[in-house]
Structure 1
Amino acid sequence: MSPTAVISRSALRLNLRAVLSTQPDAAIDVRADGWGHGLGFVAQTALESGVRALIVDEEGRRELDGVVPAAVLVSGSPSAIGDPVYGLSAGFIPVLSLRGRVLSLKELKTGEAVSYGYTFRTPRDTVIALVTGGYAQGVLRALGNAVTVRIAGERHPIVGRVAMDVCVVDVGPRPRVRRGDEVTFFDDSPEGPAVAEWAAAGGLTPAEIACAVGLRNHREYVA
């Protein structure tokens, strides 16, 4: 079971509207499969919103050939706009969120080690959750012992080294968490976490995080 990259149509439309209100001739960057958001989805939404130019790579040009007017497709532009469109700039709404699931729970005693390499030992008796999502799905190795996720309305830290397809979360000695619960890695809610937290911890930009996550996971489009 892999995490799901959830992509909001309404957020993308609102961001496009905000960009076009001040830059009506803006060229929107849809390279790297629409920054991991899905080229066809982003292109269609952008055109419906009044965008006049899409910045594409060669693969994107081939995919959109015959689907959108050729005059709209531009090979490159120093003024290409991306971050605000995908909600990765302050004042805009994040379009993509990442959600996984709790696979199992395990009790640990004080001092027991977590994950390979033993980079984390429990400071108290606690419960850990094994969660879907590892570095193969864009959950960077650097996030271990560095960020939190949200489960059952509460923030809990990722602990130990992130594995290929899973990571470990310390949910505390008396958790409200249950097997099968949804795990929010990042989203646009006030409770967070926000993608900016991942970027700061992983030494990447929010755009690089979004691209990696969007390209490596099943995508679900919501209103």
Structure 2
Amino acid sequence: MRQALIDLDAITHNTRTLRELTGTREFIAVVKADAYGHGAVSAARAALVGGATRLGVADVEEALALRAAGVDAPIMAWLHGPETEFADAVAQDVQLGISSLRQLRDAARAATEGQSAVVHLKLETGLARNGLAPQDWSAVFGEAAALEREGVLRVDGLFSHLSNTSLEDDRVQLRRFEVGVAAAHGAGLTPSVTHIAATAAAIDLPEARLDAVRVGIGLYGLSPFEDRDAADLGLRPAMTLRARVAAVRRVPDGHGVSYGYTHRTDGDSTLALVPLGYADGVPRQASGAGPVVIRGERFRVGGRIAMDQFVVDVGDHPVEVGDEVVLFGDPAAGVPSATEWADAAGTINYEIVTRIGARVPRVAL
């Protein structure tokens, strides 16, 4: 009754479109968080077909899952808790984003006689999250260079992450990053790739493209901008979330609907029950507002979204058990977008697709 249809051709198309736009030597397809809810293995393969040269994930476990599935492209994982072990990552040729001297040393210790650790040093340039603080650059660069001379480690990249506050804020961060890159070179490091731009900067800030871009949300056909939608960017949404009507009932005027009766019918009306709820990732904050399409007609959620279900008040429109209900997909197909659900819930489209739960089967098209 529940399905998230994943258009892999759309992911390939979006990758190719953004690859052609950015023109960088390397293109990192970000497939963290199960590819923003789209299925990491299939999305990674689709992106590689579209021209991605590397993959990016948040943690080592995500990288190792791709390796276990037979994905052999270069993969970088960049977020590590203090308990993270790097031995399996190094053995499986997973590149490590390094944000501290401790992590650098841990990565070096994970090297073996036949396999050195390959790392990308993350520089903190103003986002105030992880990354090497400027006052630590000299010490870390110096130790990294020494470890390279020992043959246990290789610095393949330098990277950072932008705030997307404004183009000028991003340019300030870019200038700080350039200072760090120069300092790394001065310490004797010769990384093959520098990268700082995610989807928004990859599109809007050409000078931030450097050797590579890291594209996440754009791969999945969603826009990172408030003033331009996916179609404006030449992208196609890859996920369609749908279900089938599980029950239908006719109720009189003024009938309360769902918890708290925040919605009451305006005249005699037909109610359609949809078996998707906040346990499936449908945001409760979109109660009374989330758009759906049934039989080509657009309606909104009636009343509160529950854990497993919500109700649609369709008035006098015909509806039957088994009718398809589309919550979001490609607007070109006449259905709501994930961004519309984000607006209804007061959040961003990234969250809408990423939060779709495990009990919703992903069906690749």
CA 1:186/1:156 → structure 2, altered by over 3 Å: closer, same or farther?
Answer: same
From the superposition, tell whether residues 69 and 148 of structure 1 become closer, same or farther in structure 2 (CA, over 3 Å): closer
> Within the alignment, does 1:36 sit opposite 2:32 as a pair?
no
- How many matched pairs? 219
Alignment map for 1:1-223 (pairs within 5 Å): 1=1, 3-23=2-22, 24=24, 25-56=26-57, 57-65=59-67, 67-69=70-72, 72-76=74-78, 78=161, 79=197, 80-89=214-223, 90=229, 91=233, 92-173=235-316, 175-190=317-332, 191-213=334-356, 215-222=358-365
Alpha-carbon shift at residue 214 of structure 1 (Å): 5.9
1:70-116 deviations in Å (ceiling 9; x for gaps): 6x111245332112111111321100010001011111111110011
Give the Å deviation of 1:218: 0.7
Distance verdict in 2 for CA 1:58–1:152, change over 3 Å:
same
Any idea what SS the aligned residue of 1:94 has?
coil
Aligned residues of 2:248 and 2:321 also touching (Cα < 8 A): yes
Distance 1:138 1:68 in 2: 28
Displacement of 1:147: 2.3
- Between stretches 177-186 and 138-147, larger displacement belongs to 138-147
CA distance in 1, matches of 2:337, 2:77: 31
TM-score, normalising length: structure 1: 0.92
CA distance in 2, matches of 1:215, 1:104: 23
The CA distance in 2 between the partners of 1:209 and 1:215, in whole Å, is: 14
Q: Which runs of 5+ in 2 are unaligned?
A: 79-158, 162-196, 198-213, 224-228
Unaligned runs of 5+ in 1: none
Q: What amino acid is the match of 1:62? A: L
Aligned mates of 2:359, 2:29 — CA distance in 1: 22
d(CA) in 1 for partners of 2:256 and 2:359?
29
Compute the RMSD of aligned alpha carbons.
1.6
Aligned-residue offset at 1:144: 1.5
Q: Provide TM-score, normalisation by structure 2.
A: 0.57
Q: Write the distance in 2 (CA, Å) between the matches of 1:47 and 1:98.
A: 24
Q: Quote the sequence identity (%).
A: 39
Decide whether the 8 Å contact of 2:292 with 2:327 is kept in 1: yes
CA distance in 2, matches of 1:50, 1:127: 49
8 Å Cα contact 2:292/2:301 also seen in 1: yes
Partner Cα separation in structure 2 for residue 215 and residue 16 of structure 1 = 25
- Which residue of structure 1 lines up, in the alignment, with residue 121 of structure 2? none
Q: Which of the pair is proportionally richer in helix?
A: 2
- CA offsets, 1:181-212, max 9 Å, x none? 01000110332211111001112211111111
Deviation string 1:147-187 (CA, Å, 9 cap, x unpaired) is 221001101121111111110001112x2211110100011
* More moved, 128-137 vs 60-69: 60-69
**Which position in structure 1 is the counterpart of 2:117?**
none
Larger Rg: 2
Asked whether the 8 Å contact 1:148–1:158 carries over to 2, the reply is: yes
Residue 44 of structure 1 aligns to a residue whose secondary structure is helix
Hey, what's the Cα distance between the residues in 1 that align with 2:71 and 2:325? 37
